[in-house]
Amino acid sequence: MTSSSDHPLPMTFNGAPPLSGSVTVPGDKSISHRSLMLSALSVGESRVEGLLEGEDVLATAAAMRAMGAQINRDSDGIWHIKGVGVGGLLQPQTALDMGNSGTSTRLLMGLIASHAITATFTGDASLSKRPMGRVTEPLSRMGASFTSSPGDRLPLTMRGACPAVPLDYRLPVASAQVKSAILLAGLNTPGVTRVIEPIPTRDHSERMLRGFGAELEVEVEADGTRIITLRGEAELRPQTIAVPGDPSSAAFPIVAALLVPGSKVTVGNVGLNATRAGLIDLLREMGGNIVIDNPREVGGEPVGDIVVTASDLKGVEPDPARAPSMIDEYPVAFIAAAFAEGRSIFRGLEELRVKESDRITTMAEGLRAIGVTVEELEDGIIIEGTGGALLPGGGPIATKLDHRIAMSFAVAGLISKSGVTIDDMRPVATSFPGFTTLLQKLGAMP
């Protein structure tokens, strides 16, 4: 499967026999982006094993090369990155094409904000609709300047400032991308940059910055607010990194195995960082039989093998405070809710409206198209579960350049009467190369 083709790639997923077997999923997307960026800012050579070779991460690799890093993959699949040192990024000679990737765009804007270089960012139709003001606003305060398309959107040209001005910033939106952009800008900024995070989001940047030798401290207040301080003009030391499997990708085989009666599946080597593990907690609350085997630590991140046995699920009304810990997993959680017993009410999910698609509307339309009763809310969705009765099926589902929508409805197809057709599977290559092969390996499709 590749998105390099100019033509949509429709595909139908049909009701499946029990899934079984043991699989692994590709490397964590968030950790992969960060490992390339921080390696590119170190002096010397870093090695990265298990890097996600999806289009989003390859866009980050291309951008770091364009700014001076030497990045190569050897025949064993290990990536070797020779960095330029903090402050050493070079002026890219052409526009940086970010494809579909919000993480690449926002984190790279942070990196460039404290270097005296000019860069233009472009992206696909989905990325060009997404708001960038959340990063351009704080980065402007650090001294960077921006010329963007209306509504702070791509295409956008920025000029970094050197020296930049350190920032003390309270996040107005729970976003790891905004937090990371500011911290990355802080790396080449004199003095102390401070980010205050009222609602915790994924902390891979903090862990990895420390791992590379940056002076970074995290203080947690009684109400859970996190205060992250980073001393600038850092010197980063090259590292050897093992990237764990992506819990956001593992979510699809996990939910598929819970829903298809008689299934038993192991997804090995999955990252279990608490700031990412919200879906597992939610599925367990719904009655899902999920066991973590062999819990261990790999490269500063908790990892385990996830053993899933098909279970009868019941509806839920999850606490919105949990949203950041499973933000990309809501689409597939909605599929689980559609097959559960009773009603599920999801609220506090405004952020889903600014992902690759508006994931509340796209999911509501898609679920209706396959015969599920839903009510769309301003900040969420109400889903009436079938109680384990097969979903009627149908389609084609409009995926709107959104990989997670495509994979979520593929899972829905496995528990459908007449199959679910996805209009275009190409976006899956952004985060999960080998998705359909993995479903075949589990026996979910021919």
Ligand X SMILES: C=C(OP(=O)(O)O)C(=O)O
Ligand Y SMILES: O=C(O)C1=C[C@@H](OP(=O)(O)O)[C@@H](O)[C@H](O)C1
DSSP state of 27: B
Q: Is 128 one of the annotated binding-site residues?
A: no
Are residues 16 and 237 in contact, defined by beta-carbon separation less than 8 angstroms?
Answer: no
* 30 interface partner picked from ligand X, ligand Y, none, CB below 5 to 8 A per type: ligand Y
Per-residue CA distances from 119 to 66, 147, 339 (Å): 10, 11, 47
362 binds ligand Y (CB under 6 A): no
Half-sphere exposure of 254 (CA within 13 A, CB side): 29
Site string for ligand X, 384-423 (x = CB under 6 A): --------------------x-------------------
Which residue has its beta carbon closest to ligand X?
102
Size of the site for ligand X (CB under 6 A): 9
Residue 32 interacts with ligand X (CB under 6 A)? no
The reply, when asked if residue 314 is annotated as ligand binding, is no
Q: Say whether residue 103 binds ligand Y (CB under 6 A).
A: yes
> Could you confirm whether 97 is annotated as catalytic?
no
User: Among ligand X, ligand Y, none, what does residue 101 contact (CB within 5–8 Å per kind)?
Assistant: ligand X
Distance, CA of 368 to CA of 235 (rounded, Å): 53
Q: Which of 338, 444, 313, 312 is nearest to 391 (CA)?
A: 338
Q: How far is the CB of 133 from ligand X (least distance, A)?
A: 15
H or E stretch at 436: helix 435-441
Classify the C-alpha dihedral 431-433-438-439 as positive or negative.
positive
Q: How many whole angstroms separate alpha carbon 288 and alpha carbon 308?
A: 8
Q: 204, 431, 432, 438: which one contacts ligand X (CB under 6 A)?
A: 431
x/- map, 46-65, ligand X, by CB under 6 A = ----------x---------
| Residues 193-222 within binding reach of ligand Y (CB under 6 A) | 202
Q: Looking at beta carbons only, is 56 or 301 nearer to ligand X?
A: 56
Structure tokens at 161: 């400032």
Sole binder of ligand X in the list 32, 35, 46, 103 (CB under 6 A): 103
Partner that binds at residue 175, options ligand Y, ligand X, none, CB closer than 5 to 8 Å by kind: ligand Y
DSSP 346-407: E-S-GGGGGSSS-HHHHHHHHHHHTT-EEEEETTEEEEE--TTPPB--EEEE--TT-HHHHH
Which of these is catalytic: 56, 305, 328, 424?
A: 328
Distance between CA 157 and CA 180 in Å, rounded?
Answer: 20
| 328 binding ligand X? (CB under 6 A) | yes
Q: Is 355 in the site for ligand X (CB under 6 A)?
A: yes
Q: DSSP 3-state assignment of 275?
A: coil
176 contributes a contact to ligand Y by CB under 6 A? yes
Between CA 185 and CA 118 the distance in angstroms is: 14
Residues that bind ligand Y (CB under 6 A): 30, 103, 175-177, 180, 202, 327-328, 351
Which residues contribute to the annotated binding site for 3-phosphoshikimate?
A: 29-30, 34, 175, 177, 328, 355
Which residues contribute to the annotated binding site?
A: 29-30, 34, 102, 130, 175, 177, 328, 355, 359, 404
- Which residues are known to be catalytic? 328
